[in-house]
Structure 1
Amino acid sequence: IIGSGFGGAVMAARLTPALAPGQTLLVLDKGRDHTDAFDPSASSEPVNAQGNRFRHSLAPDYLAEVAEVHTDTQGSLDDGAPTLNVVTGRGIGGGSNVYDGVSLRCPTTSFERMRAGRRLWPAAYTRAALDPYYQRVEENLSVHRLEWTDASVP
């Protein structure tokens, strides 16, 4: 499997149980493990509230290690946009490096958005329809709610 991002990681997780005895599965990634999760000699504790070792750093040197920016000067994704920048992850975990390992459920209102009198999402895609899949992913990845440390934030 090429890439350990969202697609590659899920594919590896789904294929591994189907392997015959003695078979192995190889996942290749062009980046490194920024969290030391796969380093058997790493002894560092989690460094953030999500319980992982993402550094949540905006330092340019760190960002250059974990992400690449691709620019579409034609802005083709959104009609009329002068440019479009797409940030992709680089390293074990792919795009999750860009998101600092945070997993959020898309709000209901996002699925209900309209433009020119038409839904932007197909009718089959609703938050309620996707909730069982969100739950499955959250259980498999041990996702847990971020606990606020500032009591003044609701």
Structure 2
Amino acid sequence: MRTTSTSESHFSFVLETPAATPEAARLHFQAKLSVETDAADLRLDLERGRKGFVVVDVRSAEAYARRHIPGALHIPGRQVSEASTAALSKEDVVVVYCWGPGCNGATKAAVRFAALGFRVKELMGGIEYWVKEGAPTEGTLPQGVPVFGMRGEI
């Protein structure tokens, strides 16, 4: 029995599922950008004093105390409610974040904010990628503490 090497095969894993049309791709990526932002864009807007959004850390009180994005408000994700968000303006976009890409706490909080009528974006990569990009933080942990390891180290 002869086996065909991958270099001789005409099969493509990439092309097995056809690519979207350019318009479908544009709509998909536009929709994705409407609910996400990244650390670099958030950092630049914060440094420039840009208004129109509020940053909310949805992790535990202990995690927030140890390290958070400067100026971020703290509302634990499971506590997002009409009462806990009463001081926020629905004119502003709420940017939520949690630990990192392996945590869906920000996604869950985003659902709760949206259900309350807020426009919301999730910070891709959470505090982990914020720190990886060298952005400043506030809290009791020194800036040099590594991001990697147990959640308590962030």
> In which range does the TM-score fall when normalised by the shorter chain?
under 0.3
Structure number with higher helix proportion:
2
TM-score scaled by structure 2?
0.27
TM-score scaled by structure 1?
0.27
Whichever of the two has the greater Rg, that structure is 2
